[in-house]
Amino acid sequence: MKIITRLAYVLSFAGSMQAYAQTYFSAEGALAWQSRNDQRIPGDGGSNFSFADFKKGPLPVYRLYVGHIWNETHEVRALYAPLAADLNGRFSSPVQFQNSTFAPGVDTDGRYRFNSYRLTYAYHFPKVGEWKFAVGFTGKIRDAEVALSQGALRESKTNVGFVPLLNLQASRAIAEGWLFRLDFDGLAAPQGRAFDVALFVERDLSWKGLSAFGGYRTVEGGADNKEVYNFAWIHYGVLGLRGSY
């Protein structure tokens, strides 16, 4: 959060020095459902289980953006997107996880954390008809944890890593004061994949640069290697506010 605050200050100062510049912030609140959250740790010797069997949702989440656009062309933005879920369920068969075996038919606490920190640069092209498009790249830091516990028995696997992503944006006015927006961060590689796709409708509130938006976001991806097998697919119903000056 300190990084987001400092970046907002820097971008605000830059906006005061640059003609045709815009600094913006965006806050999203959402309810999320997981249709898939499959785990096997270690990847080459653990047991398969799914956190989606513990609880599909709803899970309350939020994310914060701050960014700056120079001359309606060059955009830099930062994202803070925490995701943490504490779940409870029972296994139908023994589960080998990390260095321990978790018994079936016993109350089991699970924790799934997948915090995301991203920095994006995007180039905005001139309008094509009624559409505006932008293409860029995103550097993502993931801070992940998978944990299980049964009474005093607890095991956890954490991972912090860097993921490069492609960024695509599209928007179009659909009525007076209304805007359709698409936002995509994603890339696939032999080591795994990550996709974050949002489809929003935004309404200009005509008050101090504020607009309200809502829509659907989906996040899908994971990795398959000797250390971990993890693939999740999460769906979000989103409401948010965006401000610019």
Tens-binned pLDDT, residue by residue, of the chain (245 aa): 554 444 444 444 434 334 456 999 999 999 999 999 999 999 999 999 999 999 999 999 999 999 999 999 999 999 999 999 999 999 999 999 999 999 999 999 999 999 999 999 999 999 999 999 999 999 999 999 999 999 999 999 999 999 999 999 999 999 999 999 999 999 999 889 999 999 999 999 988 889 999 999 999 999 999 999 999 999 999 999 999 98
Number of domains the chain is built from: 1
Question: What is the DSSP annotation of 127-170?
Answer: PBTTEEEEEEEEEEEEEEEEEEEETTEEEEEEEEEEEEEEEEEE
Whether residue 202 contacts residue 213, with contact meaning beta carbons closer than 8 Å, is answered with yes
**Is the bond preceding residue 58 a cis peptide, omega within 30 degrees?**
yes
Tell which residue, 34, 39, 37, has the closest CA to residue 228.
Answer: 39
**Could you say which DSSP state residue 128 is in?**
B
pLDDT score for 9: 45
Here the CATH number for the domain that contains residue 108 is 2.40.128.90
Residues 141-181 have pLDDT tens digits of 999 999 999 999 999 999 999 999 999 999 999 999 999 99
- Find the domain containing 198 and state its range: 2-244
pLDDT score for 21: 62
pLDDT score for 209: 87
pLDDT score for 8: 45
Tell which residue, 115, 116, 85, 113, has the closest CA to residue 185.
Answer: 116
Q: How far apart are the C-alpha atoms of 64 and 33, rounded to whole Å?
A: 19
